Structure formats: structure tokens, C-alpha cells
A and B are shown apart, each in its own frame.
Chain A
Amino acid sequence: MVKKVFITAIIVFFVVVNLMFTGCAKKQVIKPLQPMAPVTETEMEEPSLRGKDYITVPQLETVYFEYDDATLKTEARDILAKNAKWLKENTEVEIIVEGHCDERGTTDYNLALGDRRAKSIRNYLIRLGIKGNRIATISYGEEKPVDLRNNEAAWAKNRRGELLGRIPPKK
């Protein structure tokens, strides 16, 4: 008897509970949108050069360009491969790539061309496995020639990409 009442009670309980929940629509629990963790591209992002002093590093060789051209020739790529190898061995070093032009052409166009030269070196170094956040760029256009003469030999020396380095202070 007691058992019967107990079973009935349980059944009634389940039916009631069941009714309670089927009566109202199943509430879907929607979590409020959590702000996504920002995708960190900082490893690839170009660092700012402001307030930083870069110095000449003898192991980092200069590469040269053709007239009105920002593409890297075989020789330049070989030099950059050596530079990249050194940078992999010296991971504490950050660099800046300076794009320079010869004096022919306008100030404006040469500043733009120097920028493209610096960026093509930066992109090649990234392809060789150097993290982008170690490589800043700057264009000096025709403002900093190494050879002031007015002939092809001088111009060839001035159309260049220089790599300078620094060791950032520890945080």
C-alpha cells in the first residue's frame, strides 16, 4: 500500500515537473557575447621607429637596387639570406631598414621609391623567418647619398637598402 502510494507520488511528481517544464518554452541559455581575445598579430606588425636609436652593425650587409626599381635581384637576396641567418642567431637584435635612392628623379617620387625598397627588404626577411616586429622601415629618398658624385658609379652606390640594429632595453 505504502509502496503503491509512493510510486504514485513519484509518477505524479514527474508528471507535474514535466508539465512545468514543457509548459514554458525551453529556455535557451544565451551567453552574453564575450569580447574575443584580440588576434595578436603583434609578432608580424611593423614596430614604430620613434624615439629609438639604431646603430651600424658590421654583420648586416647593405643591398643594392637597379634604377627606378624596388625588386630584389639574386645578389641582394643572397646578402639578405646571410643577414637573416645572423638575425636568427642574434634574436635580441631589432633592426631598421633604410631605403635610399640616387639623386635622379624628384624628392617626392624618390621618398616613395625608398619606402618601397625598404618594404621589399622587410618582406623578404619575414619570408626568411624573421619576425616582422623586429623590422622597422624608413625611407630617406635621395636625402642621404653615400657618394656625392654625379655619375653611374655613384648612383649605383646610392640606390641601396641599409640595415641598422639596436638591442631594446629589457622590460
Chain B
Amino acid sequence: MKKKTSIIIVLFVLILSTIHNLLAIDIYLELKSSGRRINISLTPIDDSKLSADILKIVSADLDYSRIFNIISLLKEQQLKKEFNFTKYDRDITVRNGVDTLIKFTTKLKANKITLNSYCWDTSSAKKIFDKDYSARSDEVREISHAFSEDIIKFLTGQQMKFSSKIAFASKLSGNKEIWCTDYDGKNLTKITNHKSICVMPKFSNDGKYIFYTTYRNGNPDIFKYDFIKDKSAPFLSYQGINLIGSVSNDGKHIIATLSKDGDPELYLFSITGNLLKRLTYSKGVDTAASFSPNAKEFVFISDRDGNPQLFIMDIDGTNLKKMTYKGYNDSPSWSPIGDKIVFTKRNGTAFDIYIIDVVTKNEVQLTKNSGSNENPSFSPEGGYILFSSNRNGKYELFTMLLNGSNQNVIVSLNKDSTNPTWSP
């Protein structure tokens, strides 16, 4: 009897493991902010302009994270201006439903900023963390973002990056150049000064470089911009078009579109620019590659069957899968969370943004009746989609959530802003 039972157990385990293996797929952890948000209150204990500025930036960061509600206390409910959590503070915060209280102070001395912070859980009156920061006086945004990242890390264990950047193309200075802003559209900086045409910026996986295409040397070549050196240099200069598609998450590979062998085709390169493999051989256009987060496959578009459609392929050029069949689909970008791809679909003369599930191929429309919406790309943690839209006349940069809600302008210049992309 005992023997029989053990055989059954062994069989059961075997079957289970077989099923497990059959269902083996990549598992991605998702940053979800479901459930109740944390009510947080931030209070500077000095009256300096610097503290007020930092409060503004940190509040915006925490709001963007969708993990917190920022609770502003009324004037007559001002907390004690000291690094203590007094009984008076506790009464006021608990009465206002504040879960977490942060007090901080800043000092500006000899071109140096210092920031000291304390954080308490209001119901238990226990300190959660205290931390000090210092930075150059021109790094107010940097020190604020570092503070925000720590608040989220200490309170939720999650890593969010407020240091991420957005790059795009604009004729703001006359010629089409590459421009950069912080994740929130602030801190506009001009990256290139080629006085030529610059298009399609893409970040390296560490965010230290931007690859883009420019006609600086007559031919549409790929250049590489180095943030630290603040310099651009030619990267790929084959005869014909050279367009950057995507840099892999592991920092090993780049996929680019070249037309050196005839039609525009996709080619796999090492991160240093060595040509490793030609990936596509179809008649017509193959372009717009975007790596999956595991860096083993990529989505791209091909008009081999007529209109451009989305396809997925392994980085060795095998295992081709067609993702879309109808209409005109372009500009795919793979979510860093792994199971979704955003892309644009032509509806009449305008384009709209759609999101497709990689497994079920189920498509959901995210923009509707609001001009042309193009070049979608994900935020580093995968919670937001960045895109360009001409719904207000000229092309501006927008962000929205994955269900298409909260469509907000983040960059609006006097000239069109196009080809937006978000750094990792």
C-alpha cells in the first residue's frame, strides 16, 4: 500500500513538472499600483525658497508614481518646525488621514545644497527612515529626484527612476536637431548642433548615449551622442539609409535598418558597432525594430505582405511570428514589463495608438478622434506611454496610462516635437 502511494506521488510530481515545463514562459514582475494609495504629507521645516522648490518637484514625482496621495495640510494646521514627531503633529496628521509624514530642511552654502530628511509612520509614531543629501547648487532637480526615489524605495520597496530622460526631434532652433528633457518635460536641452536634419533618437540601455540618424555628412548616417563628453561621433555610415532601431536591455546588441544590400533590411550589431548578422531578407521594407525586455527577440515592421504589419523574430533571425494582419501598422515599441507592445495604426488619414497583447494578439485602441498620434514608447517602469500628437495643431509630446486615460501634454514648443523616446 505504501509503495503504491509513493509511486502515485512520484507520477504526480512528474506530471506536474511536465506541465510546468510545457507552460514555461518568461515571467515578468509588474509594478502595479492597485489598492489604496499611501496618503503622504511633506513638510519643510524652514521657509526657504529652495525647500519650497524641492517640495514642488518631490510632490510631482510622488504624484506621477501613482502610489501616493499628497495631503496638503491647512495653514492653521502647520506642524512643528522641528525634526521631531510631536504629539501635536500626530494629532493633526492622523486627523487628516495622513499615513506617512516627511519633514525636511535644506541649506544653501558655498554653491552646495544639503538636504536633511526624516520620515515617520503616523499611526505607530515610529521613524521609517532619515537620510541626508548633498549636491551642487545647480542640481536642485537631481537632489529632489534622488529624495523621491528613496521615499518610494523605503516605503514600498519599489525602484522608480525620476532621472529618466526623454529625447525627441524638433526644428525649434531652425534645423531639425535632437532635444532632451527630464521625464516630466522640464529642463529642455539641445543635444545636437549639426545644422542638418537629425531624426529618430534612441537611448543606450544605460541612458548614457543617444543614437540618432543625421544627414550631417550628406548620407543618413547613425551618430552616437555621449552625455558625459557632450559630444557626437559617427557610429554607422553604410551606403544608403542607416536607422537605429533599438538597443537591447542587456547592453549587448543593437538592431539597425540599412539599405546597403538593396531593400531596407534589419541587421544585428554588437554594441560597439560590429556587424554580426543580417536578420531579414524580404522584398520591401523591414524596419522599426524594438527589443523585448529579455533581449532574445524583437518586434519590427515589414510590408512583405502589402501594408506594413508587426512581426516578432528571435535575434538569430529565426522564429518569425506575424502579430497583425489588418490595416496599416507601424512604429512598435515593446513594454519593459514584457507582455505588451504599443504601436500606431492608420485610421483614414490620421494615426492612432494601439496596444497589443504579445500572447493573445488582442488589440486595444488608446487614442481616438484626437488628431494624429504617433511614435509611442514606454516609460522605464512600463506604467506610462509617451507619444506625439497634433491634436492641438502642431505636434506636442503627451503621456498617458496603459488604458489610454490621463492624456497630458508634457512638451509643447513653438515648433513640432516628433520621434519621442524614453530613456531606460
Q: Using CB atoms and an 8 Å cutoff, list the residues of chain A in contact with chain B.
A: 46, 48-52, 68, 104-109, 111-113, 115-116, 119, 137-141, 143
Contact = CB atoms under 8 A, between A and B. Distances in A.
B218 A51 contact: yes
- The DSSP consensus for interface residues of chain B is strand
B241 A112 contact: yes
Nearest to A107: B199
Contacts of A138: 218-220
A116 B262 CA distance: 8
B375 interface: yes
A109 B330 contact: yes
Nearest to B349: A104
Contacts of B243: 108, 111-112
B199 A143 contact: yes
Contacts of B375: 106-107
Given A51-B218, A143-B176, A107 B262 contact: no
A111 B344 contact: no
A119 B259 CA distance: 10
A111 B346 contact: no
Given A113-B285, A115-B259, A138-B219, 12 more contacts: A68-B307, A106-B331, A106-B344, A106-B375, A107-B375, A107-B419, A111-B241, A116-B285, A119-B259, A119-B262, A140-B215, A143-B199
Given A49-B219, A51-B218, A106 B330 contact: yes
A106 B241 contact: no
Nearest to B331: A106
B200 A50 contact: no
Contact of A137 (B218, B240, B307): B240
B239 interface: yes
B218 A50 contact: yes
Nearest to B257: A112
B297 interface: no
B329 to A, nearest CB: 10
Contacts of B213: 111
